[in-house]
Amino acid sequence: MFGKQIGIDLGTVNVIVYVRGKGVVLNEPSVVAISVSDNRILAVGNEARAMLGRTPETIEVARPMRSGVIADYVVTEAMLRYFISKVCSRMERRPEIMISVPVGVTSVEGRAVRDAAIQAGARVAYLLPEPLAAALGADMPIGTPSGNMIVNIGGGASEAAVISMFGIVVSSSVRVAGNSFDMAITNYVRRKYNLMIGEHTAEELKISIGSALPLDEPLTMEVRGRDTVAGLPRTITVTSAEVTDALSEPLTAVAGAVRSVLEKTPPELASDIIDRGMVLSGGGALLRNVDRYLTQETGIPCHVAENAMLCTALGAGEALRHLPILRRSLAPV
C-alpha cells in the first residue's frame, strides 16, 4: 500500500495542498503566530492571519516564506508539519510530496525546502519549478514540442516561462507580485491622504475595486486608517482609478519580465505563442483586466487560467503521475 501523494504550493501568501484522488483539500495563509518568550507556535494559517497587525509585543506574527523561498527554516518546518498533519492521519504512511519552488532556485534554497518537508513528515519530497507546475495545473499541452507560455503572478514573485517537452526553455522572474501590489496601495494612500492603512485593508482595496486598467464604471470603497498628522482614526473614500494609478509601477515590472522572456524565445516557439497566446495563473491573475493589460503591453493574446489560484497546487499533484518524464526538470537539491 502506497502512502498518500500530495502536491503543495508553498507560497509566500498561501499554502495550497492537493491530495491525489481528493483534489485541493486545504488553502490557508502561510502565516504563523509565535510566542516571543518561549518560541512556541501558537497558531498557523487562518487563525494566525486573523492576528496580523493586532497582537501585543509578546506574540509575533510571521510569514516564514519570502518570494517563494524559506526565510525562516524552523517556522517553515513547523508550518509544513501542521499542514501535513491536517491532511494525513497518524495511522497513514508518510506521504510522497511534490512542492513547487520559484524558477532558478539555488541548490541551497532547494535543499532547505526539501529538508523542511522531510522533517515535517514526508517520506520523499521533490521540487518542481512553479511555472511548470502552473502549466500542468492549467492543462496546457506542455508535453508536445510546441511553445506554451505561462505567466504566474503569485504573492511574492511573478514568473514568466516558455515551456516545451516538459521543460522550461526560457524564463524570467521578478520579486514583484501580490504583496507588492498591496504595498503600492498602502504607500499611495499614505502619500495622497496622510493615512496609514493596514495590510488587510490594502488587500481588500485591491480585491474589491482594484483594476490594471481604468474601469468604464468607476468603483469606490470606504477605508479606515490612522491619520499620520493628527494621529487619530479617520475614514476616506478611495476610487478604483486611484488604485489603478497606485498599481501602475508594480504592473510595469511584471510586464517587463514577460517582455524579457518573449525577447529570448526561439523564433519557432515564438510563432506558437503568437497563435496560442499566453496563460495567466496565480492569485495576482485575478486582478481585474490584468490579461487585457498584458495583451496591450506585449501584443500577445492573454487569458486567465480556469482555476488560476489553484493551478500550481493542482500541477504539483499531477506531476507525481508524470514523475519519470519530469525528473530531468525537477529543481536541484
Looking at the domain assignment, is residue 23 inside a domain? no
Q: Among 230, 208, 233, 203, which residue's Cα sits nearest to residue 219?
A: 208
What pLDDT score was predicted for residue 94?
Answer: 85
172 and 270 together in one domain: yes
Contact 314, 185 (CB under 8 A): no
Angle between helices 178-193 and 199-209 (to 10 degrees): 100
Give the model confidence (pLDDT) of 240-276 as tens digits. Answer: 999 999 999 999 999 999 999 999 999 999 999 999 9
Q: Among 63, 30, 66, which residue's Cα sits nearest to residue 46?
A: 30
Evaluate if residue 132 carries a pLDDT over 90. yes
3-state secondary structure of 234: strand
183 and 241 together in one domain: yes
What pLDDT score was predicted for residue 91?
Answer: 63
Looking at the domain assignment, is residue 115 inside a domain? no
161 and 261 together in one domain: yes
Instruction: Please state which of the ranges 158-162, 273-277, 326-330 shows the lowest mean pLDDT.
Output: 326-330
Which of 227, 246, 265 terminates a domain? The answer is 246
Looking at the domain assignment, is residue 304 inside a domain? yes
Looking at the domain assignment, is residue 239 inside a domain? yes
Q: Among 30, 33, 45, which residue's Cα sits nearest to residue 156?
A: 30
188 and 301 together in one domain: no
CATH code for position 152: 3.30.420.40
274 and 294 together in one domain: yes
pLDDT band at 324 (very low <50, low <70, confident <90, very high): confident
Calpha distance 324→36 (Å, rounded): 45
Give the model confidence (pLDDT) of 167-200 as tens digits. Answer: 999 999 999 999 999 999 999 999 999 999 998 8
Calpha distance 310→275 (Å, rounded): 25
185 and 228 together in one domain: yes
What pLDDT score was predicted for residue 177?
Answer: 94
Looking at the domain assignment, is residue 85 inside a domain? no
Which of 246, 262, 289 terminates a domain? The answer is 246
Domain that holds residue 163: 145-176+252-308
What pLDDT score was predicted for residue 89?
Answer: 73
**pLDDT over 70, % of the chain:** 98
Give the model confidence (pLDDT) of 53-93 as tens digits. Answer: 888 999 999 899 988 788 888 889 889 988 988 888 766 66
Task: Look over the chain and give the mean of its residue pLDDT values, rounded to a whole number.
Answer: 92
Calpha distance 278→159 (Å, rounded): 12
Q: Which residues pair with 96 in a beta bridge?
A: 5, 124
Distances (CA, A) of 63 to 18, 44, 137, 283: 21, 10, 25, 17
Residue burial 47-76, b: 16+ Cβ < 10 Å; e: rest = ebbeebeeeeeebebbbbbebbbbebeebb
Evaluate if residue 2 carries a pLDDT over 60. no
DSSP states of 264-307 as a string? Answer: HS-HHHHHHHHHH-EEEESGGGGSBTHHHHHHHHHSS-EEE-TT
CATH code for position 223: 3.90.640.10
166 and 260 together in one domain: yes
Considering only residues 54 and 315, tell me which one the structure prediction assigns the higher pLDDT.
315
164 and 281 together in one domain: yes
162 and 264 together in one domain: yes
Looking at the domain assignment, is residue 80 inside a domain? no
Calpha distance 149→135 (Å, rounded): 8
In the chain, the number of structural domains is 2
Looking at the domain assignment, is residue 226 inside a domain? yes
184 and 290 together in one domain: no
Which of 207, 226, 246 terminates a domain? The answer is 246
What pLDDT score was predicted for residue 305?
Answer: 96
Evaluate if residue 333 carries a pLDDT over 70. no
171 and 182 together in one domain: no
Instruction: Give the pTM.
Output: 0.91
303 and 182 together in one domain: no
Evaluate if residue 1 carries a pLDDT over 50. no
Give the model confidence (pLDDT) of 102-131 as tens digits. Answer: 988 888 888 999 999 999 888 999 999 999
What pLDDT score was predicted for residue 304?
Answer: 97
Calpha distance 291→302 (Å, rounded): 5
Looking at the domain assignment, is residue 125 inside a domain? no
Contact 125, 100 (CB under 8 A): no
